[in-house]
A and B are shown apart, each in its own frame.
Chain A
Amino acid sequence: MIKRLPMANTPKIPLARYMKEVKDSAKVPPMAVSAAAGISVRHPSAAAGFPRRISLDDWLAAAPQQITELTIPAGYHSAEPVLVTGPANGGGLLLIHVGAGAQVALQERWPSGGQTLGVGVQVDVAEDAHVDWLTYDSFQAKMVLVSRTAALADRATLNWTLAGFAQNSGATLINVNLRGTGAQATVNVGVLASGTQHVGYTTAMTNYGRKSKGHINQRGVIVGKAHLIFNGIGHIIKGARGSDNQQENRVLMLGQDSRGDADPILLIDENDVTAGHAASVTRVDQTQLYYLMSRGLPKALAQRLVIRGFLEAGLLEITDKDLKADLFKQIDETLVNPDGK
């Protein structure tokens, strides 16, 4: 019996059309995990543990889809990141349970190729736990649909950075549910869209718990003929008194044919709260370019520095030097060849 689940709210993103595509059927290995002893890694055979809330979840969970399940025990404490890498040619499901009071750094990387991939991630953070989460999407596949959800219990905190430096078209849904009292999350998204990519990000932050705090910060650079859509949805549920929900969505367009959207949405069902949003779609700041060039920097280099600076605001939390250097290198290469590889 298939129950019909609701569609996700993804303004301007043609999710229903994307879901008509058939996922790649090749059987691929599950995600590779590099984690310290004490962290349990399982590969359950059925997707039973993957929550189904919207119709996209069914699409993502449909076989063949490998499942990787990590359990970080309560009280776990390490700065050494747990590294999870997607398969070379396929998507997958990832479930992560973070136990009470744990402090963990997660790194999730997707360099995966293929035609049409689905990626589903669910991270549950128990009371008083703290998670630093770095997601690096560098998909080589043609089309990818991604849904990532984090749920935070009382006083849990999440600091999440997502670098979208991929080749694919499609949609990424990010949901952070601040379930517990005093839960806090920041989501930074930095996206570089190029070639003929058509990509949409819908990042939703929902306050259920009292005194919970959620911030969204999305930055996108668009070159060539690419189209990038940033939706930000801040939602404060009735009863979440004393909570705070802020978002910023900024898009920088470089190409004559680049297209960008930045759409903030605020849904406030409680009175005693603070919320705000900022959004902009702009071209390169001519004053900044002029300043750099007035010191002798050639235009191409000046432009690269301005763009790096703009994206940096979305990728500020990335302390991994190699990764940052890799991202900067990709920015430079993309600007030299804006119409894609």
Chain B
Amino acid sequence: MSTLEIKDLHVKVKAEPEHPEILKGVNLTINSGEIHALMGPNGNGKSTLAETLMGNPRYVVSQGDILVDGQSIVSMPVDERARLGFFLGMQYPAEINGVTNAEFIRAAINARRPDDDQIPIMTFLNQLDATMAQLKMPEDMADRYLNQGFSGGEKKRNEILQLMMIRPHWALLDEIDSGLDIDALRIVADGVNSMRGAAFASLIITHYERLLDYITPDVVHVMKDGRIIETGGPELAHTLEQTGYEHLKAGDGHD
């Protein structure tokens, strides 16, 4: 059992210190075993929150804290956070030439294991084959260069493949549903659902209720203008689908 606490989090873009904060005091607590959905209109800080939790060096925390079981991780670099259990399924994963998908995923798994206990190659390949089959990915995607020339949908599946292979504790999923058709969405959702358990928690960012029909969240939050303005159960997502975000009160901060 683990707890992720976000306390009064204020965030800026590092290269633009003169610009206003993107996050203006976010408070959120996620416990192991829970799935939280983060909804809200574009450009209101959802992705910034996910990137800040992961440790993207583009962003800087100007106030507040992020705690895992009471320990601050704000000064921890991205790779250490990953090894601590964070995973960010990205909207636009980078393409990397010359590094095969399989080689990369194996390196990611081994980075979490001691040097004298690396994953045996056959164990790894069997796991990879089974997981790819579950996600209905063609076998040759293991040997293709990382995300290189992948379609939008293939990239999303590949993010979920990594999620399932790495088995992180805290999965931050940033619009993994965008650009997926209904069949692909179901497959991706099944993948995430298969991760559910006492040693897994997730923060799922989405615009649409559609994804939440397949992955039922325990808690739904709405973010607007850099703050969480509403929190509720799964029914909140359905309400929002009918009413939109417009009627919700804007944050009362001033830029």
Contact = CB atoms under 8 A, between A and B. Distances in A.
A and B: real partners? yes
B97 A313 contact: yes
Contacts of B94: 285, 287-288, 290-292
Contact of B99 (A285, A290, A299, A305): A305
A309 B99 contact: yes
A311 interface: yes
B98 interface: yes
A224 B107 CA distance: 26
B97 A312 contact: yes
Nearest to A315: B98
Given A291-B94, A293-B78, A295-B104, A309 B166 contact: no
Interface stretch (B82-90, B124-132, B233-241): B82-90
B29 to A, nearest CB: 23
A308 interface: yes
Contacts of A290: 56-57, 78, 94
Contacts of A38: none
Contacts of B79: 293-294, 296-299, 302
Interface string A275-311: 0000000000111101111111111011001101111
B51 to A, nearest CB: 9
B96 to A, nearest CB: 5
Nearest to A316: B98
B104 A309 contact: no
A296 B83 contact: yes
Interface residues of A, number: 24
A297 B108 contact: yes
A181 B93 CA distance: 45
A296 B111 contact: yes
A310 B97 contact: yes
B166 A308 contact: no
Contacts of A301: 107, 111
Contacts, number: 76
Nearest to A295: B108
A308 B107 CA distance: 15
A305 B99 CA distance: 7
A313 B148 CA distance: 12
Given A294-B78, A302-B79, A288 B96 contact: yes
A131 to B, nearest CB: 26
Contacts of B245: none
Contact of A312 (B98, B108, B111): B98
A297 B111 contact: yes
Contacts of B55: 294
Nearest to A299: B79
Interface in A36-81: none
B179 interface: no
Given A297-B111, A299-B79, A292 B96 contact: yes
Contacts of B52: none
Nearest to B92: A287
Interface in B152-203: 162, 166
Nearest to A328: B98
Nearest to A286: B57
B43 interface: no
Contact of A306 (B90, B96, B145, B166): B96
Contact of B166 (A287, A295, A299): A295
A302 B94 CA distance: 13
A244 to B, nearest CB: 24
Contacts of A305: 96, 98-99, 104, 107
Given A299-B77, A305-B104, 11 more contacts: A288-B94, A293-B78, A293-B79, A294-B55, A295-B82, A295-B111, A297-B107, A299-B79, A309-B96, A309-B98, A312-B97
25 contacts: A285-B94, A287-B94, A288-B96, A290-B94, A291-B94, A292-B96, A292-B104, A293-B77, A293-B78, A293-B79, A294-B55, A294-B78, A294-B79, A294-B88, A295-B82, A296-B82, A296-B111, A296-B166, A305-B104, A308-B99, A309-B98, A310-B97, A310-B98, A312-B97, A312-B98
Interface of A: 285-288, 290-299, 301-302, 305-306, 308-313
Ranked nearest first, the 8 interchain pairs of A and B with the lowest CB-CB distance are: A309-B98, A312-B98, A296-B82, A291-B94, A309-B97, A295-B108, A296-B111, A293-B79
